Amino acid sequence: MFIKSLSLKDYRNYEYCVVNFSNGINILFGKNAQGKTNIIEAIYLCATSKSHRTSNDKELINLGNSEAHIKLTVNKQGIDEVIDIHIKKNNRKGIAINRIPIKKLNELLGIVNVIIFSPEDLGLIKNGPKERRKFLNLELCQLDNIYYHNLQQYQKILKQRNNLLKNLKKINKIDETISIWDNQLVQYGIKIINRREEFINDLNEIINKIHSDISGNKENLKIVYEKNVSNIDFKQKLENNLEKDIRFGTTSVGPHRDDMMFLVNGIDIRKYGSQGQQRTAALSLKLSEIKLVVDKMDDTPILLLDDVLSELDDDRQKYLINSLENIQTIVTCTGVEDYIKNSIDIGKLYQVSEGNVTLYDLHNKK
């Protein structure tokens, strides 16, 4: 799988631009705030329907305009797929695949499988559980349309239950309809728990070898799935916590409160690990994602590296770069020195300046 081209019209700081990518390593370099990350964001949007930077689609539209367009062409096993996204200021965005509008977002998921790695991801281990749940959901939704459906249903039911809890708090009375929402919440919650457990088990079969290699065989890494509830006790815990839930107007138990623990040589590095250990674990996690996608989808994902190489030390840089073979990679950076220093084989080099993307002559790079 590789992206052939991306065109943007009135998107962020771009009035119009077309970028044709190499199926190898593509570098977008330039000063800060020129639009490099906007290209990464647009690709991510075409893969997931969402921005990784904002939940407000209006922010994606160039100032002074009422709509924006993204068109991405991806080649999958020799066949081109075209994704068109039409973002409107006063309406929902429209998405078409091969010129046919889709009705449900899960029709988009899995067409382009991307793994994004940014400086913020280096903090995945030390940040709060919300970030780790986001990681779980984003990757699983790309890999599994059934998981996406179950998650959507769970979130809708959770919202309905929380609304009812807030109402019960006002009238100080338990409504028998709460049990209906509880049954549905458990039904979809159990499916989410089972799939997350399977995913983390799959990651564990991959991640320890990668982490051991990066750390010079000094560290063993294991991910532990910290389930807020189990399949067996979910319904009972909802019933036991009902009075508390009414008092606070929110559901206190369920997979929406899950977490992951990262053990290095048996130590929880979320709490006791050094920054170096946490960053190495985050890098191991991203590289494990790549291998897992290859194993499960029988295709390579596209790797998006958003200004991350400068945040890694030389050893981690070299390991990451050596892992890019046969994977289309789109990189943003302020300079190309790190890539030249590591003798990286660059497919295409683009300079980004004030919303303009210019193909750079590789023979003239310094």
Q: Which residue has the tokens 């991510």?
A: 44
Q: Is the dihedral of CA 34, 41, 303, 221 positive or negative?
A: positive
Q: Which of 66, 29, 125, 18 is nearest to 330 (CA)?
A: 29
Q: Which of 136, 145, 139 is nearest to 114 (CA)?
A: 139
How far is the C-alpha of 353 from the C-alpha of 224, rounded, in Å?
A: 44
CB-based contacts of 325, cutoff 8 Å, min separation 6: none
Q: How many CA atoms lie within 13 A of 287 on its CB side?
A: 24
Beta-bridge partners for 260? 225
The answer to whether the beta carbons of residues 227 and 255 sit under 8 Å apart is yes
The answer to whether the beta carbons of residues 291 and 143 sit under 8 Å apart is no
How far is the C-alpha of 10 from the C-alpha of 68, rounded, in Å?
A: 5
33 assigned binding-site residue: yes
170 assigned binding-site residue: no
How far is the C-alpha of 207 from the C-alpha of 270, rounded, in Å?
A: 17
273 assigned binding-site residue: no
36 assigned binding-site residue: yes
Q: What angle do CA 285, 289, 292 make, to 5 degrees?
A: 130
How far is the C-alpha of 56 from the C-alpha of 93, rounded, in Å?
A: 11
Q: Phi, psi (5° rounding) for residue 327?
A: -120, 125
Query: Token pair for residue 114?
Result: 């991307």
CB-based contacts of 153, cutoff 8 Å, min separation 6: 184, 188
Q: Which residue has the tokens 């970028």?
A: 19
Q: At what angle do helices 129-143 and 275-297 cross, to 10 degrees?
A: 20
The answer to whether the beta carbons of residues 300 and 329 sit under 8 Å apart is no
189 by DSSP, 3-state: which?
Answer: helix
37 assigned binding-site residue: yes
- What residue type is 142 in one-letter code? Q
31 assigned binding-site residue: yes
Binding residues for ATP: 30-37
